Amino acid sequence: MVGLLLTVIMLLHASSTSYSSSSPSSAVLQTLFQYINDHQNEFVQRLGEWVAVKSDSSNQALWGEVRKSLNMTSDRIQAMGGQVEFAEVGTKQLPNGESVALPPVILAQFKRDPSKPTVCFYGHTDVQPAKKEDGWSTDPYTLTEINGNLYGRGATDNKGPVLAWLHAVETYQGTKQEMPVNIKIIVEGMEEVGSDGLAELIRQRNDSFFSDVDYIVISDNVWVSRHPALTYGTRGSSYFFVEVEGPKLDLHSGVFGGSIQEPMTDLIALLGSLLDNTGKILVPGLNDAVAPLTEEEKKLYEDIHFDLDEMKKTAGVKRFLQDNKEGILMARWRYPSLSIHGIEGAFSDPGSKTVIPRRVIGKFSIRQVPNMEPAVVETQVKKHLEEVFAKQKSPNTLKVTTTVGAKPWMANVNDVPYVAGRKAVKAVFGEEPELIREGSTIPIANNFQEVTGKSTMMLPISGHDDGEHSQNEKISRYNFIEGTKLFAAFFHELAQLQKDS
Amino acid sequence: MVGLLLTVIMLLHASSTSYSSSSPSSAVLQTLFQYINDHQNEFVQRLGEWVAVKSDSSNQALWGEVRKSLNMTSDRIQAMGGQVEFAEVGTKQLPNGESVALPPVILAQFKRDPSKPTVCFYGHTDVQPAKKEDGWSTDPYTLTEINGNLYGRGATDNKGPVLAWLHAVETYQGTKQEMPVNIKIIVEGMEEVGSDGLAELIRQRNDSFFSDVDYIVISDNVWVSRHPALTYGTRGSSYFFVEVEGPKLDLHSGVFGGSIQEPMTDLIALLGSLLDNTGKILVPGLNDAVAPLTEEEKKLYEDIHFDLDEMKKTAGVKRFLQDNKEGILMARWRYPSLSIHGIEGAFSDPGSKTVIPRRVIGKFSIRQVPNMEPAVVETQVKKHLEEVFAKQKSPNTLKVTTTVGAKPWMANVNDVPYVAGRKAVKAVFGEEPELIREGSTIPIANNFQEVTGKSTMMLPISGHDDGEHSQNEKISRYNFIEGTKLFAAFFHELAQLQKDS
């Protein structure tokens, strides 16, 4: 992993001095861009039709709408001559015990030319819940344009990007140009609730649907500023459960308070040993594995546009732990972090209750970065907690468990799709993309990369202020339309690179 | 308070050498005890009828049963010539918004002789919930005698003691002996859910019903061993809410983890500063107010029977913080304790969620002892938490609030009812009572003492292993019947003391 990171850094550094973009005057691109400009109202109207479908996957009563959104996607693909398979992914057990069939996953492809590279796009058409009463200024299922922004649930997450991808394919057909790449598409309807069945489907189809795929592209995240970006890394994550068990039943704090060592006292001491007030993780050895920061990498962060004041306002925090942009970006992307999420088993309702809980489970997670290994982190955390617990000299029992840790994901920006992506950004936006990471863990990226072994890329077209999952979600007309151009240009540049090599 | 405590200690010390009990051969007592022995099966049968009433006050659908249990109490009192008032105590709003009338409180009295002292007994006929499936060996509402124990919900808490009190009065009538004291009775049906309306009723009737009461007696707690006991103190309690508020909304730990100071990190540091692993409270100054332990008081604990191994087994703890009986009793009764009960606002469900909660409220309580003052404790705790928070250098906001603190309750064992109680115990059981305290806070004792200013006493007849609130609650036939004798003898001794003075 260190090797990979260094390669990335060196390439990034090299790119800032020697990279030369495709000519924006390329006749092919001009034709494509003109078509997209000419058809933009039609594209926006279609997004309106898609947003009108209440495909909220969190509500099983609305799975019919989820299926409808998948059918609309299929109709679009088939109208362009694509072949669609609705792959069944099993059933889900509802809280009432009933088993219901999950919405299927679309696996689509167009006529294949073995001489061309094959790109597989992943997207989803299900959305987060939305109600006008939640604080939306407009009806969430009526796409509404205000000052160049297209407001509506799913506009940016992820209906807009899925449509932009399809519109990019349509643009080649509409301008009677040969598709420069083979296209495969995977679209699901359960992303917002955990992508039920998808991982298993990828495994099942690894030797068939995915066998001839060269590049997998995901457009389900956002830029970090008003400038276009390519995402080359996400943090991994391990979730820890620290259980302290004491008496055989909950006890009354009046009767037993002062005479027994309470599980909560032990747990608070354990949780309190994890990090300090600067955010530094205090688990011995844990930070040693973090890839060292070189001067070259440090410079990368200088070029990224990131508005501290706007971010403070958005999150409603008075100040960040770091006092400058570079520090904050590094804290989010290239350093590990530890968050304590809560305690199970203790009193958590409003009001007061004088219980001594017999068994409490503290929960925290650690976001991991290159070159941390979840298995090593697990060992370090357990050892640390056991040492702290030993000092408590407690008669209680400690048990530390962890969910399988997701490794940090890191792409090599020297890979063909990143180079193509940078050329495409330059062609569309006239500037270099920001090379960014995500602080969060995006399991689907890891999943594709680990199971298929294919080069996986995150190519966002959504704005940093689009408010995915929030009230007043939107995508700007600019991002939606220029994003469509970006995808069209990306196909072109990808093919060009293949020809050049 | 120090003065009072010292008096208590000196008297207790004196009593162990110079106290001389009433003669158990007293003809009056012999007659009373014989009657009780002769009628014990009838008394047990009546307890069975009372236990059969499912007067679970926590379930509003069962308030009809609560009223039935009060009616049975009233019938018993009236059958003995007592006058009963059902005092209404207002309404309770249910979660569905409906207001329902609370079960009334019984205020009863017998014909009054102004030359005699007046004793008011407090009890309750409502019970905790109970279902066979919860792990009862017998049907909870069918009083079942096994090896001398009478199993059934409410057998010891508090139907048995209420009946024992009424049977003691009946015994005087049955033996054609004049009642040596005036009797008043207050019985409620909402004790297990917080005695709704009772405090207000006491205030309202302070100048009427309570005006001629000399002594208030409560028999709603338990012995500490197999030996009879008088209870002369309870700890007070203050409940604290430590709120840390940060961002304006819950944040994603992937996106923000590492770049903001999380409210949970601050809260864990605050809670971790409260006590150490020996149970010692670390709030500066707090322990200074604790009445010093004298050699005389220390000796008191030596005489108390307390089976460490049995208590370990009951609570299911491997060991106590103190390694001997005296230490444990003092930790429970005469030293303050601090218990952390839980956190509101953090993730508390099963499973995992990677949230950074925007606002969390830690909850803890401090059991207080002479000579601590809740108002001073509040100031000390707030100052301490503010100092710890200042060291966190946090951009978050701290708010510490507390519920009105209940002062520790402490009776003077030199008061007439305690002297009478000790004579009565000697007469019935042939031994000195253990002079004990309760670690918990019993608001009704405080309430009576503070509002009425009357001498208030706790005179338990329930066994230390009766399992109030638990499965398989019981009272032994021995405790029920000898407890009835204790109350009968108590009336006699009280009157004797008045005559002697």
Q: How many CA atoms are closer than 13 Å to the CA of A434, on its beta-carbon side?
A: 22
A406-428 residue pLDDT tens: 889 999 888 999 999 999 999 99
Interface contact flag, B254 A342, Cβ < 8 Å: no
Which has the higher per-residue pLDDT, A312 or A119?
A119
The whole-number average pLDDT for the span B309-325 is: 90
Residue A500 pLDDT exceeds 90: no
Whole-complex ipTM: 0.84
The whole-number average pLDDT for the span A252-261 is: 92
CB atoms within 10 A of CB B90: 11
Whether residue B319 lies inside any domain: the answer is: no
Whether A200 is a known active-site residue: answer no
Same domain, B63 and B199: yes
The one-letter amino acid code at A125 reads T
From B25, B109, B22, select the one nearest B496 (Cα to Cα). Answer: B22
From A378, A354, A196, select the one nearest A283 (Cα to Cα). Answer: A378
pLDDT band at A304, cuts 50/70/90?
Answer: very high
Interface of A with B in 55-114 (CB under 8 A): none
Q: Does A24 touch chain B (CB under 8 A)?
A: no
The pLDDT assigned to B95 comes to 75
d(CA A143, CA A153): 8
Which residues on chain A are in Cβ contact (under 8 Å) with B247?
Answer: 315-317
A35 φ/ψ angles, rounded to the nearest 5 degrees: -60, -45
**Active-site option among B126, B214, B297, B468:** B126
The whole-number average pLDDT for the span A177-200 is: 94
> Number of CB pairs < 8 Å for A and B?
254
**Residue spans of alpha helices (H) in B121-245:** 159-174, 198-204
Which residues on chain A are in Cβ contact (under 8 Å) with B462?
Answer: none
Whether residue B328 lies inside any domain: the answer is: no
CB atoms within 10 A of CB B499: 9
Gap from B203 CA to chain A (nearest CA, Å): 25
Interface with A, mutate which of B338, B339, B398, B458 (most A CBs under 10 A): B339
If you measure CA to CA, which chain B residue comes closest to A251? B315
Interface contact flag, A440 B254, Cβ < 8 Å: yes
DSSP A82-101: -EEEEE---EEE-TTS-EEE
Whether residue B25 lies inside any domain: the answer is: yes
SS3 A342: strand
Same domain, A269 and A396: yes
Determine if residue A112 is left, alpha or beta; phi over 0 gives left, psi from -120 to 50 gives alpha, anything else beta: beta
B349-365 residue pLDDT tens: 988 888 899 999 999 99
Residue B10 pLDDT exceeds 50: no
Whether residue B34 lies inside any domain: the answer is: yes
Specify the number of domains making up chain A: 2
Same domain, B263 and B176: no
Whether residue B302 lies inside any domain: the answer is: no
CB atoms within 10 A of CB B14: 12
Prior bond to A447 cis, omega within 30? no
Compute and round to an integer the Cα radius of gyration of chain B.
25
Q: Within chain A, what is the greatest distance between any pair of CA atoms?
A: 84
SS3 A419: helix
Interface with A, mutate which of B270, B340, B469 (most A CBs under 10 A): B340
Same domain, A108 and A56: yes
d(CA B89, CA B188): 10
Q: Does B254 touch chain A (CB under 8 A)?
A: yes
Is A157 annotated as contributing to ligand binding?
yes
Same domain, A413 and A373: no
Same domain, A181 and A277: no
* CATH number of the domain bearing residue A347: 3.30.70.360
Is B157 annotated as contributing to ligand binding?
yes
If you measure CA to CA, which chain B residue comes closest to A236? B254
* CB-nearest partner of B261 from A249, A269, A321: A321
Whether residue A478 lies inside any domain: the answer is: yes
Neighbouring residues of B106: CB distance < 8 A, sequence distance ≥ 6: B70, B73, B74, B77, B84, B85, B86, B87, B185, B186, B187, B188
CA end-to-end distance (rounded Å), chain B: 26
Interface contact flag, A341 B347, Cβ < 8 Å: yes
- The DSSP letter of residue B39 is T
d(CA A166, CA A76): 8
Which residues on chain A are in Cβ contact (under 8 Å) with B253?
Answer: 337, 339, 341, 365, 367, 440
Interface contact flag, B342 A269, Cβ < 8 Å: no
CA end-to-end distance (rounded Å), chain A: 26
Q: Please answer whether residues B164 and B99 qualify as being in contact, where contact means their C-beta atoms are separated by less than 8 angstroms.
A: no
The whole-number average pLDDT for the span A53-75 is: 96
Determine if residue B430 is left, alpha or beta; phi over 0 gives left, psi from -120 to 50 gives alpha, anything else beta: left
Looking at A402, A422, A455, the residue that finishes a domain is A402
Same domain, B46 and B175: yes
Interface with B, mutate which of A261, A267, A276, A340 (most B CBs under 10 A): A340
Q: Please answer whether residues A491 and A110 qualify as being in contact, where contact means their C-beta atoms are separated by less than 8 angstroms.
A: no
The b/e string for B170-205 (b: 16+ C-beta within 10 A; e otherwise) is: bbbebeeeebbbbbbbbbbbbbbeebbbbbebbeeb
If you measure CA to CA, which chain A residue comes closest to B437? A255
B79-130 residue pLDDT tens: 999 999 999 999 998 878 889 999 999 999 999 999 999 999 999 999 998 9
* CB-nearest partner of A332 from B255, B337, B338: B255
Q: Does B315 touch chain A (CB under 8 A)?
A: yes
Q: Please answer whether residues A274 and A282 qualify as being in contact, where contact means their C-beta atoms are separated by less than 8 angstroms.
A: yes
The whole-number average pLDDT for the span B402-418 is: 88
> What secondary structure, in 3-state letters, does B245-289 show?
ECCCCCEEHHHHCCCCCCHHHHHHHHHHCCECCCCCECCCCHHHH
* CB-nearest partner of A256 from B248, B277, B315: B315
**Active-site option among A56, A65, A170, A191:** A191
DSSP B99-125: EEEPPPEEEEE----TTS-EEEEEEE-
* CATH number of the domain bearing residue A123: 3.40.630.10
Whether residue B58 lies inside any domain: the answer is: yes
The pLDDT assigned to A280 comes to 97
The pLDDT assigned to A23 comes to 53
d(CA B497, CA B501): 6
If you measure CA to CA, which chain A residue comes closest to B363? A352
Same domain, B75 and B167: yes
Interface contact flag, B367 A237, Cβ < 8 Å: no
What would the two tokens of residue B61 be? 């659908």
B458 φ/ψ angles, rounded to the nearest 5 degrees: -115, 120
Domain span at residue B257 reads 236-290+335-402
Looking at A402, A423, A439, the residue that finishes a domain is A402
Same domain, B241 and B347: yes
The pLDDT assigned to B33 comes to 97
The pLDDT assigned to B470 comes to 84
Residue A18 pLDDT exceeds 60: no
**Active-site option among A126, A196, A262, A466:** A126
- Strands of A7-148, DSSP E: 83-87, 91-93, 99-101, 105-109, 118-124, 144-146
**Active-site option among B65, B170, B188, B191:** B191
Looking at A386, A402, A418, the residue that finishes a domain is A402
Is B167 annotated as contributing to ligand binding?
no
* CB-nearest partner of A319 from B239, B318, B395: B395
Same domain, B414 and B397: no
Q: Please answer whether residues A201 and A407 qualify as being in contact, where contact means their C-beta atoms are separated by less than 8 angstroms.
A: no
Gap from B52 CA to chain A (nearest CA, Å): 27
From B457, B494, B458, B459, select the one nearest B479 (Cα to Cα). Answer: B459
SS3 A456: strand
The pLDDT assigned to B149 comes to 98
* CB-nearest partner of B340 from A265, A279, A336: A265
If you measure CA to CA, which chain A residue comes closest to B257? A337
Q: Please answer whether residues B126 and B55 qualify as being in contact, where contact means their C-beta atoms are separated by less than 8 angstroms.
A: yes
> Do the bridges between strand B229-234 and strand A434-438 make them parallel or antiparallel, or are there none, so unpaired?
unpaired
The whole-number average pLDDT for the span B284-306 is: 92
pLDDT band at B488, cuts 50/70/90?
Answer: very high
Determine if residue A85 is left, alpha or beta; phi over 0 gives left, psi from -120 to 50 gives alpha, anything else beta: beta
Determine if residue B312 is left, alpha or beta; phi over 0 gives left, psi from -120 to 50 gives alpha, anything else beta: alpha
What would the two tokens of residue A106 be? 């679309």
Whether residue B382 lies inside any domain: the answer is: yes
Gap from A268 CA to chain B (nearest CA, Å): 6
Which residues on chain B are in Cβ contact (under 8 Å) with A365?
Answer: 253, 257, 352, 354
Q: Does B338 touch chain A (CB under 8 A)?
A: yes
What would the two tokens of residue B343 be? 């956190």
Same domain, A212 and A250: no
B357-406 residue pLDDT tens: 999 999 999 999 999 999 999 999 999 999 999 999 999 999 999 986 78
Gap from A136 CA to chain B (nearest CA, Å): 16
Same domain, A93 and A130: yes
If you measure CA to CA, which chain A residue comes closest to B308? A259
d(CA B501, CA B272): 55
Burial class (CB in 10 A: 0-12, 13-18, 19+), A380: buried
* CB-nearest partner of A272 from B247, B269, B317: B269
Q: Please tell me chain B's helix, strand, coil percentages from 3-state DSSP, rounded to the nearest 5.
A: 40, 20, 40
Which residues on chain B are in Cβ contact (under 8 Å) with A445?
Answer: none
Compute and round to an integer the Cα radius of gyration of chain A.
25
d(CA A450, CA A279): 31
- The DSSP letter of residue A407 is P
Gap from A414 CA to chain B (nearest CA, Å): 25
The pLDDT assigned to B299 comes to 86
pLDDT band at A352, cuts 50/70/90?
Answer: confident
Whether A126 is a known active-site residue: answer yes
Q: Residues A297, A299, A304, A310: is their CA dihedral positive or negative?
A: positive
